[in-house]
Amino acid sequence: MTGLIGWSVGRARMIAALVLFSFAAGIAAYTGLPKEGSPNIDIPLLYVSVTLPGVSAADAERLLVKPLETRLRGVEGLKKLTGVAAENHASALLEFGFDWDKTATLARVRALVDEAQAEMPADANQPTINEVNLSEFPILVVSLSGDAPERAMQRLARSLQREIETLKPVLEVGLAGKRDELVEIVIDPLQLEAYNVTAQELLAAVANNNRLVAAGAVDAGAGRFAVRLPGNFETAQEIYRTPVRVSGDRVVTIGDLARISRTFEDATSVARFNGARAIALQVKKRLGENIIDTVEQVKARVREVQATWPPAPQAAVAVDFSMDESVEVRNMVGQLEGSVLTAVALVMLVVVLTLGARSALLVGLSIPLSFLLSFALLALFGMSVNNMVMFGLILAVGMLVDGAIVVSEYADRRITEGAPPEDAYAEAARRMFWPVIASTATTLCAFLPMLFWPGIPGQFMGHLPVTLIFVLSA
């Protein structure tokens, strides 16, 4: 290593070029690094939920939770299983180790949940299995509110949803506050009695005439083609004309027995903005994408689509943005940049007052250079700039200058003793190399145990020692 130091001293221009290249590489890496609030970690949790309208909490435990727990206890790698029973609902939370095989575990859990569903009541809804993933939380909510009719508002929201989902950084866009359309058939008991028709006959007529029937396949010379008989209702008029029974010489239709209208199903979610009814579009980004760039692209696309709306919707529907995660990330990035500049200025000021201008220049240069090189390492290892990385960078500011101050002070002493500056700094680098390495290593050893911290907290905190290692090693 001392040979490398001697080789570097005689090649000042090459070293200056390497420093400039390091600055350029670090700036390019910092610009391209994904920036987000929390670290992206793979949380080994699965959440299984099932609903059964009208069931009590006690019955939910017996009818829903018990079958789930009995089947899911046998999943390989399961550390903890928590079942919860509530009115109309039951759930199971499965916790695994961080060495889990997510794909195989998901497949196994789906198979076991299907087996458990066979033991549940027939009117229980299809169980859902969800991963717990921080990257799937919304980074932006686009709210549509105003006095426009609900059907028109939903049409605009779905159009906007499709446009936003075409953006590459966007994973998906969820809709909250919307209600699906349906055709409502309100039975008139007096008409049933007048035509001597039972409610069961009417329900059977609707069910039998609103189904898709598979009719096998046809083998032709060009290949094999599936055949189906279309039987689903397409319009309300088809329902109105559907026969229920023949009474004398008259055909009794559904329209004779019930009132048919287009309406919306009962709301399963409610969205409001500034107290007004709204439809909220919850935007989720893909893993590893820059949250700031993603939000800017989404806002730009929303404005583009809004400009294409007819005048009436533009006047009646207000589009607002809320829960913008990029604001917090942008503030953190600004604080980091401000902290770095402040630290460099303060360190240089202190060193100028105590050691002189030449030492201040060398010491002050070590901070931004080490930070930029650490950004290049973060990009190389596929990490992002998040709150834990930023905390590690700010924590490293005070540690970075120790080695530079020791080397500069030793070189200044050799210069005052009459040694040429070039020889003095070469000797200082050789003489202080191992003491500086030992000092840095002992600092890193204090943080290394955090790399092996188990569980979800360890996955979060693991970014801190990694950042310190990158910065101090640079």
State both tokens at 254: 């559904």
Of 77, 76, 107, 72, which is closest to residue 92 (Cα–Cα)? Answer: 72
**Confidence (pLDDT) at 152:** 83
**Confidence (pLDDT) at 297:** 92
CA distance 186 to 206: 13
Q: What is the 3-state secondary structure (H, E, C) of 77-124?
A: CEEEEEEEEECCEEEEEEEECCCCCHHHHHHHHHHHHHHHHCCCCCCC
User: What is the torsion angle, in degrees rounded to the nearest 10, for the CA atoms of residue 243, residue 248, residue 250 and residue 253?
Assistant: -30
pTM above 0.75, yes or no: no
Domains assigned to the chain: 2-39+327-473 (1.20.1640.10), 45-132 (3.30.70.1430), 139-180+267-322 (3.30.70.1320), 182-264 (3.30.2090.10)
Q: Tens of pLDDT along the chain (474 residues)? A: 555 555 565 666 777 777 788 888 888 888 888 877 777 777 788 899 998 888 888 888 888 989 899 888 888 888 888 999 988 889 999 988 877 888 888 889 999 998 888 888 888 888 888 877 666 678 899 988 888 787 888 888 888 999 998 998 888 888 887 777 777 788 888 887 777 788 888 778 777 776 655 555 666 666 666 555 555 666 677 777 778 777 777 788 877 788 877 777 766 666 777 777 788 889 988 877 888 889 999 999 999 998 888 888 888 888 889 888 888 888 877 877 787 677 777 777 877 777 777 777 777 777 778 888 888 888 888 888 877 888 888 778 777 777 777 877 777 777 777 787 777 777 777 788 888 888 888 888 888 888 887 777 777 778 888 888 888 876
**Confidence (pLDDT) at 229:** 57
**Confidence (pLDDT) at 300:** 92
Dihedrals phi, psi of 174, to nearest 5 degrees: -95, 155
**Confidence (pLDDT) at 402:** 75
pLDDT tens for 105-135 read 888 999 999 888 888 888 888 888 887 766 6
